[in-house]
Structure 1
Amino acid sequence: MSRLQSAQPDPRATLRGGLPDRYLTPEDIANLFSVPLETVYAWRKKRTGPPGFRVGKHVRYDPAAVRAWTDEQATQAA
């Protein structure tokens, strides 16, 4: 594999609107907003954070829904 090929980004991780093109984990949300993981779980419990869904016992977030929630928060703050 050449240097050029290894420098190419993984197509599965292509950013769309600043977010990865994959479902996000609670850890991803905590890192994205620079908040503790416990805050993400509190948002979910209170239904105040980005909408998530369950895949079995795991919580995941759709990047498009996270972007919409972020835009809504920015609009409400303005």
Structure 2
Amino acid sequence: MPNRWLSVEEIAEYLGVSKDTIYAWRERKGLPAHRIGRFWKFKAEEVDDWVRSGGSAEPSEEQSN
């Protein structure tokens, strides 16, 4: 089952960040996530595309001024 839904814990491990970072990115930066019941689930392919498009990038000082 290579295309399965990943949990918050699994996607955090996949990206090498904390669960808190995943929740913050979902809320503030539009990390693609899907609510299934009371759980957030992720597709690795969607998250990969989001990262490649710069979704996880921190704004530079020039961009924030």
- Give the TM-score of the pair, scaled to structure 2: 0.69
* Gaps in structure 1 of 5+ consecutive residues: 1-11, 15-20
Q: What is the CA–CA distance in structure 2 between the aligned matches of 1:56 and 1:49, rounded to whole Å? A: 19
The verdict on how the C-alpha distance between 1:32 and 1:49 changes in structure 2, with shifts beyond 3 A counting, is farther
Structure number with the higher strand fraction is: 1
**Higher relative contact order, structure no. (Cα contacts within 8 Å, ≥ 6 residues apart):** 2
Query: Aligned-pair RMSD on alpha carbons?
Result: 2.3
Q: Judge conservation of contact 1:50–1:69 (CA < 8 Å) in 2.
A: yes
Give the equivalent residue in structure 2 for 1:35: 17
Size of the aligned set, in residue pairs, is 57
Identity %: 30
